[in-house]
Chain A
């Protein structure tokens, strides 16, 4: 973690402890949510996209401004068949632009080929993770394969009863799915969770990655599944407020502004967005950050095109 990020986290934590949660709705004015509005929008997400559900999390990290049984939202075991970095390489090879939005000033918008390093305000939080390698697959956190501490374990293996060689047991496969191209890309899965960030007053997305054998990915490897512009800027690796361990997170510092912008566009088209649709809009925009993680945000609602 870089110093600026750590200082900012300390500052943010102090502010969160000393100030109360937002109580006045400013959804349309600022693109932010009160905790009650977060719960309302979360209830709507859970009812329309049933792969999402509310979680209680660890009682010791419970936030008092949210109901005990609605501390955060999660969808588990979401497949991610391709690395976002490899998709972007394809686009670049095809000479295409990746147009995420048509506004050049926002924090989220990127046309490839433009040097973005020199403009736009940097997020206070940034990351010092190494740039993901071009090769798509690297081993995850060391598992029993490499384990040298416990050599005796080997002796346990396959000593077992012959009974386990049972004809009615499908013989295991370890790779669930392989696209038929040269790159062997293994199916990763993600647990995607959404917490309420009291400081920024917006939802915040967290990614917990697993390799194809459902073993935890190092958070740095998760960055391969993040749109590369964001991997370097807006996706950080931090402690999850409700779950153990370090997780990658889309930093919420620009969420309010981006949501405000989208809401303004909707309103200029004569659509009056309801606050309970917030998370659908939010998740659609998060999809530009994690384009290959196939979580469910599909819900028919009028974006105001007609």
Chain B
């Protein structure tokens, strides 16, 4: 507990969702042509990029390509998930209901614990070390009112709860934490890592600073190997958050992974952020995180608790609503074209 007295509770800035207008158009068409009256869960992809501006966070976005193609389009050429460095895919699940009543009747705690179970399994099995975006798994519940062209929706980004929470002294920019040689090495290693085509599997990684100050970026699964080589290991992740004082939400489950898989109690974390599309160490906060010892995570097979239902525009836990009659309602469109 001595460590906890030195540091403050590490607070994670929640993901912020953003659903493109194109996504809702796509969902309307998907509902009418493919899903129809079925209410089964639909696998979707969210997209994000590391934060690239000092004033605004990156969002977890739903875009046109987030939904699977309509069956009508199936005979089109094979559809690939179009990702690039500015839209790294994140796996999600959409529960789209037929009525407002069934939207409200969804057992959100149950949905949350199912998603948490998946994240937990992926951590424990080591799959999340191979594909780090499994840690960012999210879910969306929605009701598409295609008479009024109104969409009611609610995102959840399950984040495992550590009790007691992880702590950290206040952050410092990476440019100050590391010496000149290390910083140059980190810059080069991060730039190289970011250029890898592996996308989703690479949103968290290790920076290995060897005894002679060489820096290599390594995948998470190399943790044990890197430890044997000596030197220092920094845990890095693509951070959507823009605040200098806090890490973004993806670190939350990543720290859980570090605790469960690597059994560490201290870890240095670099929040990877960019300016003009390039990593900028002045704007990458570094946290020295102290992790609690969590014997119950190793012994009990119960899934830990998780939080993460997004707040709405009033700052409360509740759904958001978007009205798109002006761009979707055929009658309104006909009137504006007349």
Contacts and interface: CB of A to CB of B under 8 A. Distances in A.
Interface string B134-153: 00000000000000101010
Contacts of B7: none
A167 B166 CA distance: 10
Nearest 9 interchain pairs by C-beta: A50-B277, A157-B318, A244-B25, A144-B321, A170-B11, A245-B327, A177-B55, A51-B277, A168-B165
B252 interface: yes
Given A50-B277, A244-B327, A167 B311 contact: no
Interface in B279-338: 305, 307, 309, 311-324, 326-327, 336
B18 A210 contact: yes
B12 A169 contact: yes
Interface in A20-42: none
A168 B148 contact: no
A287 interface: no
B9 to A, nearest CB: 5
Interface string B151-169: 0100000010110011000
B58 interface: yes
Contact of A215 (B24, B86, B313, B326): B313
Contacts of B86: 50-53, 75-76
A216 B11 contact: no
Nearest to A58: B64
Interface string B107-120: 01100000000000
Interface string B13-31: 1101110111011100000
Contacts of A93: none
Contacts of A210: 18
A115 interface: no
Give the residue among B87, B104, B313 with the most A Cβ atoms within 10 A: B313
A141 B315 contact: no
Contact of B22 (A50, A161, A244): A244
Contacts of A95: none
A10 to B, nearest CB: 11
B141 to A, nearest CB: 10
Contacts of A145: 313-314
Interface of A: 1, 49-60, 68-69, 75-79, 81, 141-145, 147, 149-150, 152-158, 160-161, 163-164, 166-170, 172, 174, 176-177, 187, 189, 208, 210, 213-216, 243-246, 294, 296, 298
Contacts, number: 176
6 contacts: A51-B52, A75-B86, A81-B55, A155-B104, A172-B311, A294-B53
Nearest to A6: B337
Contacts of A81: 55
Contacts of A298: 276
B10 interface: yes
Contacts of B26: 244
Nearest to B315: A172
Contacts of A57: 64
B264 interface: no
B104 A152 contact: yes
Contacts of A166: 161, 307
A160 B320 CA distance: 16
Interface string B47-86: 0010011011111010011000000010011010010111
Contact of A167 (B61, B108, B165): B165
Contacts of B22: 58, 243-245
A175 to B, nearest CB: 11
B265 interface: no
A51 B277 CA distance: 5
B18 A143 contact: no
A221 to B, nearest CB: 13
Contacts of A244: 20-22, 24-26, 64, 327
B221 to A, nearest CB: 26
Contacts of A208: 21
A147 B318 CA distance: 13
A56 B65 contact: yes
Nearest to A166: B307
B246 interface: yes
B309 A164 contact: yes
B13 A170 contact: yes
A158 B309 CA distance: 10
Contact of A149 (B150, B309, B317): B150
Contact of A216 (B21, B159, B161, B305): B21
A193 to B, nearest CB: 11
B12 A168 contact: yes
A168 B162 contact: yes
A143 B321 contact: yes
B12 A170 contact: yes
B179 interface: no
B280 to A, nearest CB: 13
Contacts of B148: 149
B47 to A, nearest CB: 9
A142 B86 CA distance: 29
A59 B76 contact: yes
A187 B87 CA distance: 22
